[in-house]
């Protein structure tokens, strides 16, 4: 897929206004990445999801607006790796004097993540998803793992992957993965110490300076997804041992690839 690139100059606000009418805003009230995103309806009535690097200040994680802009361009590159149904591709990049913004089709889903203080609230999408029929949960998680097979084949290693990257349409029964800003092309050495991410989903090497981050790290992240979103409510599900293997502390003890994880998952899950 080819991404349309436009250089407009001016401010991010100018660029957002040119796209259309804002009907939703996602800022520091809903997430702490420093990005500010918008739901925008253009003149034809089509809805778009527009993500910007936000204001000229450091994010809580210490990223500058310029760094966040670079990460958005990276996320657009990740989205060209596959036409998988679980991915909403970036269709446009708009370059302004304040950085780049990305434009994707709007998806009518709900963020699966719940704030820490609301994880026991049955009204949250987090718990409504985990309360779905087992077959529906398995189908959704299968799609997420399958997407990462494609991304791994294209050389991408997951980063900052957690339930806050997942959106689910409860009416259509469709899941989408978003936020690829921290994905990395190819294995690398953790030179930071603690990488961006949720401790509920992070592999040990993601908080270990000098550790190798590779496809087995993605396997761990996906294994934690299976544990949190399926097995916490269904502890006797046959995929339990697969998830346990995927989340072993030593990377050499995990399945060596996302494709290997998917194969094991599909060979044993009775709900597919």
Query: pLDDT digit string (tens) for 137-157?
Result: 999 999 999 999 999 999 999
Per residue in 161-199, pLDDT tens?
A: 999 999 999 999 999 999 999 999 999 999 999 999 899
List all residues 6 or more positions away from 151 whose beta carbon is below 8 Å from its beta carbon: 78, 81, 82, 158, 183, 258
Residues 123, 230: one domain? yes
Report yes or no on 101 lying in a domain. yes
Q: So what's the pLDDT on residue 75?
A: 94
The pLDDT > 70 percentage for the chain reads 98
Domain total of the chain: 2
The pLDDT value given to residue 62? 84
Same-domain pairing of 151 and 252: yes
Cα 174 to Cα 84: distance, rounded to the nearest angstrom: 12
Question: What percentage of the chain exceeds 90 in pLDDT?
Answer: 87
Tokens of 51: 């993500």
CA-angle at 86, arms to 134 and 41, nearest 5°: 115
Q: Which of 74, 105, 136 is the last residue of a domain?
A: 105
Tell me, yes or no, whether 96 and 171 share the same domain.
Answer: no
In a domain, 40, yes or no: yes
pLDDT value for 271:
67
Whether residue 125 lies inside any domain: the answer is yes
186 and 71 in a common domain: no
Q: Are residues 100 and 61 in the same domain?
A: yes
Note the pLDDT of residue 266. Answer: 95
Which of residues 42, 70, 105 is at a domain's end? 105
Q: What is the CATH number of the domain that holds 222?
A: 1.10.510.10
> Does the pLDDT at position 16 exceed 90?
yes
**pLDDT reported for residue 224:** 98
**Are both 182 and 122 inside the same structural domain?**
yes
Could you report the per-residue pLDDT of 55-106, keeping only the tens digit for each? 999 888 888 999 999 999 999 999 999 999 999 999 999 999 999 999 999 9
| DSSP 8-state class, residue 94 | E
Instruction: Write the CB contacts of 28 (distance below 8 Å, at least 6 apart in sequence).
Output: none
Domain that holds residue 11: 6-105
Residue 133 belongs to a domain: yes
Do 40 and 129 fall within a single domain?
Answer: no
> For residue 223, is pLDDT > 70?
yes
Residues 67 and 120 in one domain: no
What is the CATH classification number for the domain harbouring 11?
Answer: 3.30.200.20
**Mean pLDDT, range 211-227, rounded to an integer:** 98
Residue whose tokens read 């739901």: 39
Strand 90-96, strand 4-7: pairing: parallel
Domain assignment present for 20: yes
87-94 long-range contacts (CB < 8 A, ≥24 apart) are: 87/147, 87/176, 87/177, 88/49, 88/176, 88/178, 89/1, 89/3, 90/3, 91/3, 91/4, 92/3, 92/4, 92/5, 92/6, 93/3, 93/4, 93/5, 93/6, 94/5, 94/6, 94/7, 94/8, 94/15
Same domain, 57 and 140: no
Per-residue pLDDT at 211:
98
Chain length of the chain: 272
Helical packing angle, 258-268 and 134-153, nearest 10°: 150
User: Has residue 1 been placed in a domain?
Assistant: no
The predicted model gives 228-248 an average pLDDT of 96
Residues 114, 101: one domain?
A: no
CB 76 within 8 A of CB 93: yes
Question: Do 78 and 176 belong to one domain?
Answer: no
**pLDDT tens sequence across 129-138:** 999 999 999 9
Asked if residue 68 is part of any domain, the answer here is: yes
Among candidate residues 105, 126, 152, the one where a domain is terminated:
105
pLDDT of residue 20: 97
pTM higher than 0.75, yes or no? Answer: yes
Do both 232 and 154 map to the same domain?
A: yes
């Amino acid at each position: 897929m080819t991404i349309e690139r436009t250089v407009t100059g001016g401010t991010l606000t100018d660029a957002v206004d040119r796209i259309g009418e804002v009907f939703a805003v996602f800022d520091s009230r809903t997430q702490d990445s420093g990005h500010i995103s918008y739901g925008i309806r253009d003149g034809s009535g089509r809805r778009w999801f527009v993500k910007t690097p936000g204001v000229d200040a450091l994010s809580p994680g210490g990223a500058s607006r310029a760094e966040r802009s670079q990460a958005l361009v990276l996320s657009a590159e990740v989205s060209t790796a596959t036409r998988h149904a679980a991915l909403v591709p970036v269709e446009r990049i708009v370059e302004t004097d304040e950085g780049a913004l990305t434009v994707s089709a709007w998806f009518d889903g709900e963020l699966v993540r719940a704030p820490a203080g609301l994880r026991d609230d049955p009204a949250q999408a987090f718990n409504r998803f985990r309360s779905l029929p087992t077959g529906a949960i398995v189908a959704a998680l299968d799609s997420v793992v399958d997407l990462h097979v494609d991304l791994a084949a294209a050389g991408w290693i997951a980063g900052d992957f957690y339930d806050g990257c997942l959106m689910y349409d409860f009416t259509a029964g469709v899941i989408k993965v978003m936020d690829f800003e921290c994905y990395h092309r190819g294995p690398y050495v953790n030179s930071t110490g603690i990488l961006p991410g949720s401790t509920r989903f992070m592999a040990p090497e993601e908080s270990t300076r000098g550790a190798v981050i590779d496809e087995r790290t993605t396997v761990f992240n996906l294994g934690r997804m299976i544990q949190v979103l399926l097995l916490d409510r269904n502890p006797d599900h046959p995929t339990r041992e697969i998830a346990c293997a995927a989340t072993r502390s030593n990377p050499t003890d995990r399945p060596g690839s996302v494709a290997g994880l998917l194969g094991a998952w599909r060979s044993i899950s009775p709900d597919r």
